[in-house]
């Protein structure tokens, strides 16, 4: 079994991005700039945004965080997005999700300028991605594709089963893995909570992706011998023995499943770092496009 080390892969990719950023800065006279809107004080969201700022710094990009109260109105949030959309010095914009319940997430995503939508959630980018046109691809599915490519794991003709059909992970990933050409050409089955006999479907998979948000859900009896297993799940579990008071758990029962796999991602240190590096790639792409 080989561990798919997303941390090392992401570090290698960041070096390439940093080189490209230097080249772009010389040409444009400024640095690519990622803006993040953070609504409220959700601890996980605070950590994610802080990590994104650090990542930007590491590759020589600028970043800024717009911190808004958890009671902000929909119109107030629109106003902030409009300001950033119009700011010529900002290349990429993300709104950290989830948002408080009183805000309409879909409407907020649709307010972002598609040319700055580096999360790839805007319907324009989703539509282009589905049609195979150049677009921002959402960070987690793009990171998974890059991780498979980094380890030269073949996808052509492989049976791929994805558990979880969310708009940010499962659904776009199903699209990317089934598209024609390099990194695609899989036969994809997309599963969800209504799938009949999930274990039987999972056992068909040469490449199995768990993205359901249920800690340790995938057990050894759901895995074909020699499968590649990608664990997207991140759930915070209370743990008094750690400094932070919690630990991160994936959707795969790693101890049980790892011995049956050819490759498997750890949690943390697998898909997470690849997601973050995809956001940097998209921000650089946004900056490059604005200079064309
Ligand atoms: P989500 O929007 O909650 O969707 C979960 C999906 O899993 C749904 O399609 C749901 O089915 C399905 N599901 C739930 N329980 C199931 C079960 N018992 N059997 C089969 N399918 C089941 O989740 P998400 O936003 O995609 O996130 C999934 C996990 O990935 C979470 O732990 C999240 O924190 C993590 N995540 C990690 C990264 C990263 O960078 N590593 C990025 C994004 C998300 P229905 O549609 O039928 O309800």
Nearest CA to ligand 1 atom 4: 166
Question: Residue 119: inside a domain, yes or no?
Answer: no
* Pair (233, 151) in one structural domain: yes
Whichever domain contains 173, its CATH number is: 3.40.50.720
Q: Each residue of 128-144: b (16+ CB within 10 Å) or e? A: bbeeeeebbbbbbbbbb
Question: Residue 73: inside a domain, yes or no?
Answer: yes
* Pair (73, 144) in one structural domain: no
Please give the pLDDT value at position 290.
84
* Pair (161, 239) in one structural domain: yes
Q: Which helix (H) or strand (E) holds 287?
A: helix 271-290
* Pair (207, 266) in one structural domain: yes
Q: Give the structural domain span for 225.
A: 139-271
Please give the pLDDT value at position 292.
72
Q: Is 198 in the pocket of ligand 1 (CB under 6 A)?
A: yes
| Best residue among 98, 168, 169 to mutate for probing ligand 1, ranked by most atoms within 8 Å of CB | 169
Count of domains forming the chain:
2
Angular region, 28: left φ>0, alpha ψ -120 to 50, beta rest: alpha
User: 235 φ, ψ to 5°?
Assistant: -125, 135
Catalytic (active site) residue 119: yes
Please give the pLDDT value at position 27.
93
Cα 185 to averaged position of ligand 1 atoms, centre (Å):
24
Please give the pLDDT value at position 291.
72
* Pair (150, 236) in one structural domain: yes
Q: Is 268 in the pocket of ligand 1 (CB under 6 A)?
A: no
Instruction: State if pTM tops 0.85.
Output: yes
Question: Residue 260: inside a domain, yes or no?
Answer: yes
User: 24 φ, ψ to 5°?
Assistant: -65, -40
Question: Residue 125: inside a domain, yes or no?
Answer: no
* Pair (144, 91) in one structural domain: no
Question: Residue 46: inside a domain, yes or no?
Answer: yes
Whichever domain contains 76, its CATH number is: 3.40.50.10860
Q: Tell the residue number behind the tokens 């948002």, with chain if given.
A: 99
* Pair (188, 144) in one structural domain: yes
Please give the pLDDT value at position 95.
98
Question: Residue 6: inside a domain, yes or no?
Answer: no
Of the residues 74, 95, 113, which one is the last residue of a structural domain?
A: 113
Question: Residue 56: inside a domain, yes or no?
Answer: yes
Q: Is 166 in the pocket of ligand 1 (CB under 6 A)?
A: yes
Q: Is 142 in the pocket of ligand 1 (CB under 6 A)?
A: no
* Pair (242, 147) in one structural domain: yes
**Mean pLDDT, consecutive 10-residue segments, the chain of 292 residues?**
98 98 96 98 95 98 98 98 98 97 98 98 98 96 98 98 98 98 97 98 98 98 98 96 94 98 98 98 96 72
Cα 39 to averaged position of ligand 1 atoms, centre (Å):
22
Q: Is 45 in the pocket of ligand 1 (CB under 6 A)?
A: no
* Pair (108, 161) in one structural domain: no
* Pair (160, 224) in one structural domain: yes
Cα 10 to averaged position of ligand 1 atoms, centre (Å):
23
Question: Residue 38: inside a domain, yes or no?
Answer: yes
Of the residues 79, 113, 147, which one is the last residue of a structural domain?
A: 113
* Pair (106, 219) in one structural domain: no
Nearest alpha-carbon partner for 179 in 213, 239, 129, 115: 129
* Pair (147, 263) in one structural domain: yes
């Amino acid at each position: 079994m080989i561990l798919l080390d997303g941390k090392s892969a992401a570090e290698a990719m960041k070096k390439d991005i940093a080189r490209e950023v230097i080249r772009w800065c010389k040409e444009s006279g400024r640095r690519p700039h990622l803006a993040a809107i953070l609504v409220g004080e959700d601890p996980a969201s605070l950590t994610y945004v802080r990590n994104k700022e650090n990542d930007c710094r590491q590759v020589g990009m600028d970043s800024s965080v717009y911190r808004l109260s958890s009671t902000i109105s929909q119109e107030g949030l629109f106003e902030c997005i409009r300001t950033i959309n119009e700011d010529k010095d900002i290349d990429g914009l993300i709104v950290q999700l989830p948002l408080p319940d009183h805000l309409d997430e879909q409407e907020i995503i649709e307010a972002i300028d598609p040319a700055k939508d580096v999360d790839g959630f805007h319907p324009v980018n989703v539509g282009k991605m589905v049609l195979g046109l150049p677009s921002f691809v959402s960070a987690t599915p793009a990171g998974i594709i890059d991780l498979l490519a980094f380890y030269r794991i073949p996808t052509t003709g492989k049976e791929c089963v994805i558990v979880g059909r969310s708009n940010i992970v499962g659904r776009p990933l199903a699209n990317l893995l089934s598209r024609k050409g390099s990194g695609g050409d899989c036969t994809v089955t997309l599963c969800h909570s209504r799938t009949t006999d999930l274990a039987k479907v999972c056992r068909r998979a040469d490449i199995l992706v768990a993205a359901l948000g249920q800690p340790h859900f995938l057990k050894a009896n759901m895995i074909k011998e020699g499968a590649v297993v990608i664990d997207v799940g991140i759930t915070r579990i209370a743990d008094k023995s750690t400094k932070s008071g919690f630990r991160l758990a994936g959707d795969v029962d790693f101890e049980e499943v790892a011995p049956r796999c050819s490759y498997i991602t750890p949690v943390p240190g697998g898909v997470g770092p690849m997601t973050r590096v995809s956001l940097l790639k998209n921000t650089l792409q946004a900056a490059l496009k604005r200079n064309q």
